[in-house]
A and B are shown apart, each in its own frame.
Chain A
Amino acid sequence: MAVHCPLIAQEGVIITGSLTQNPLQQPLGELPVIEFRGVYKTYQNGTHALRDVNLKIYKGEFVFVVGASGAGKSTFIKLIVREETPNAGAVSVNGFKSGAMTRRDVPRLRRTMGIVFQDFRLIPGMTVFDNVAFAMRVVGASNFDIRKRVSSALNLVGLGGKARSRPNELSGGEQQRVGLARALVNNPSLIIADEPTGNVDPNMSYEIVELLTEINRRGTTVIMVTHEHQLVRDFNRRVVMIESGSVIADSAAGGVL
């Protein structure tokens, strides 16, 4: 069974299609895209990063994850992308269950999502086009597909005219939009944005979140970690607040920010 999500096609046209294989081989139906059940994470140095986290995120949701530094937001993200494994409880993402995953499943899981980093993570020696294309080369896309879809992704984030520029020739906001195009280019069903506005000016922050909102409107689930409470209030979406490793508020469950 496939997960449906927006696809980037030729000349910037957005169509809907199937992309990601569900390894469970059963209809997702109302199953959450992400589910945390009684998750605990303690690092080797004794830090309790997460305690008894229970959370469900459904297809098409836009979720802000907020909390102070050291609250456990990064660990929450790391468990989603399978950089860390829980000490207790279970994490399920796009049908991949933490307890049943092998090392080989990790790349497969990550191909179902796009990640946007706070520090952009663009390769300085590559052009904007090549930075975005890089994500497609990793999954073995043909040159023909790369040319088509990279252009579409750059048009979507409003950087169609800057394909030949180098990252250092762009503003912080533009660089983050390249990062967003890279996250989108493989048509993921889920976008994880780890403080994407952390290194851009306030005006650009709004543009970035607006872009994420637009991507979400087209069916992609978006999880955005942020410190910026004003931004969260202005966009009025589901908010999950983490403090000392526990979810202390979830607007979907009636919590308030």
Chain B
Amino acid sequence: MKPQSMSYLTGEGLKNVWVNRMMSLASVGVLIACMLLIGVAVAFSLNVDKSLGTLQEQNVVMVYFEDGREETANLQSIDEIQHMDNIKDAVYIPKEEGLRAQLEQLGTEYEAIFSWLEEENPLPDGAMVTLSDLSEYDATYNALQALPGIKNVNGSRDVAMMVTTVSRIIGLAGFWIILLLMLIALVIIANTIRITIHNRRLEISIMKAVGATNWFIRIPFIVEGMALGVISGVLTTGLLYLVYSFATQSVNKYYPGQLELVPFRSFYLNLFGIFIAIGLFAGVAGSLVSLGKYLKREGSAFGAIH
């Protein structure tokens, strides 16, 4: 295609956004609603992920060594644990340190009462092990238990399972919600383009009669669809910024120091990219879907225009 044709067709496509401004407005409005929902779903999922991540990091497994083992043997075991699958970190806690930590937890008033324990420390040497992926909790737990010199392994299996389940549900629900909203966006754009085609069937019939290729006819519609998608993407990012700022202010006001939302600046560029991608995809796919059937009918060059 010649450059002058390309610039003419692009101009026509952009002009159509304005010519069909009521339809464009309706499409942009519904697209913004869809994308805003997608944005809220993404922002919610990011914040839940962050909270679950914190919970996951706190969910450690305590490994206790058999009594009477040499410290060098324990440190060897720690090294072995660190090289196991699904282990993020393993910190050795000798029994003296363990007791000190316990006494500190009890507070100063009980410290004197239990000070005799320092003479006959009943605690075993242990290690605090952080897992990488809580969904692999059972397998990792069993592997730790099976290591030589290990007396027992203590962990919060219920918390691990809860975190895993919530995380999976949110991931799955987010995926389907976003997919559904994307489909809605696609249908909306396709519908707008279909109406544009109906309004412009006279031009299309003339184009076909004078020998326009199907691509020549398609390009302005694709450009129109893409423009609607990009406009919606830009406006949605702006709107989401306002909504998110309001949410952040409310959280800071009502839960000061307890809840901290992921900052907007840390994800808005990715989200903007997603919005533009959705808009462009919906624009291109919607135009092609709508035009496909119409252009297949060779009859439109001479067919009656009503």
Contacts and interface: CB of A to CB of B under 8 A. Distances in A.
**A pairs with B:** yes
Interface of A: 74, 77-78, 81-84, 104, 106-111, 114-115, 117, 119, 121, 123, 125, 134-135, 137-143, 182, 186, 194
A74 B304 CA distance: 11
Given A110-B210, A123-B202, A140 B298 contact: no
A123 B206 contact: yes
Contacts of A141: 4
B208 interface: yes
Contact of A121 (B2, B216, B298, B305): B305
Contacts of A82: 298
A83 B295 CA distance: 12
A83 B299 contact: yes
Contacts of B2: 140
Interface in B187-209: 202-203, 205-209
Contact of B305 (A119, A125, A143, A186): A119
27 contacts: A78-B299, A81-B209, A82-B298, A83-B302, A84-B298, A107-B211, A108-B211, A109-B211, A110-B210, A110-B211, A115-B209, A115-B210, A121-B205, A121-B206, A125-B19, A134-B207, A137-B5, A138-B207, A138-B210, A138-B212, A138-B216, A139-B212, A140-B2, A140-B5, A141-B4, A182-B210, A186-B211
Interface in B289-303: 298-299, 301-303
Given A110-B210, A111-B211, 15 more contacts: A81-B302, A83-B303, A84-B299, A107-B211, A107-B212, A110-B211, A123-B203, A134-B207, A137-B5, A137-B8, A138-B207, A138-B216, A143-B4, A186-B210, A194-B302
Interface of B: 1-2, 4-5, 8, 19, 202-203, 205-213, 216, 298-299, 301-303, 305
A140 B3 CA distance: 9
Q: Looking at A81, A106, A109, A138, which has the most chain B CB atoms within 10 Å of its CB?
A: A138
B173 to A, nearest CB: 45
A87 to B, nearest CB: 15
A138 B301 CA distance: 14
Contacts of A139: 210-212
Contact of A111 (B4, B205, B210, B303): B210
Nearest to A183: B210
B301 A81 contact: yes
Contacts of A140: 1-2, 4-5
B223 to A, nearest CB: 15
Give me the 5 closest cross-chain CB pairs, A-B, nearest first.
A111-B211, A110-B211, A140-B2, A138-B212, A107-B211
Contacts, number: 74
A186 B302 CA distance: 19
A139 B213 CA distance: 9
A46 B126 CA distance: 90
B4 A77 contact: no
Given A138-B216, A140-B1, A140-B2, A78 B302 contact: yes
A225 to B, nearest CB: 11
B213 A107 contact: yes
B210 A135 contact: yes
B206 A110 contact: no
Contacts of B19: 125
B301 A110 contact: yes
Nearest to B298: A83
Nearest to A194: B302
Contacts of B303: 83
A50 B4 CA distance: 42
A82 to B, nearest CB: 7
A153 B155 CA distance: 89
Given A110-B208, A110-B211, A135-B210, A121 B5 contact: no
Given A121-B206, A140-B4, A77 B211 contact: no
Contacts of B299: 78, 83-84
Contacts of A125: 19
Nearest to B216: A138
Contacts of B209: 81, 110, 115, 117, 121
A193 B97 CA distance: 101
A256 B302 CA distance: 29
B37 to A, nearest CB: 37
Nearest to A106: B298
A84 B203 CA distance: 20
Nearest to B296: A103
A71 B212 CA distance: 30
A18 B209 CA distance: 21
Contacts of B1: 140
A107 B301 CA distance: 11
A81 to B, nearest CB: 6
A121 B212 contact: no
Contacts of B213: 104, 107
A84 B298 CA distance: 7
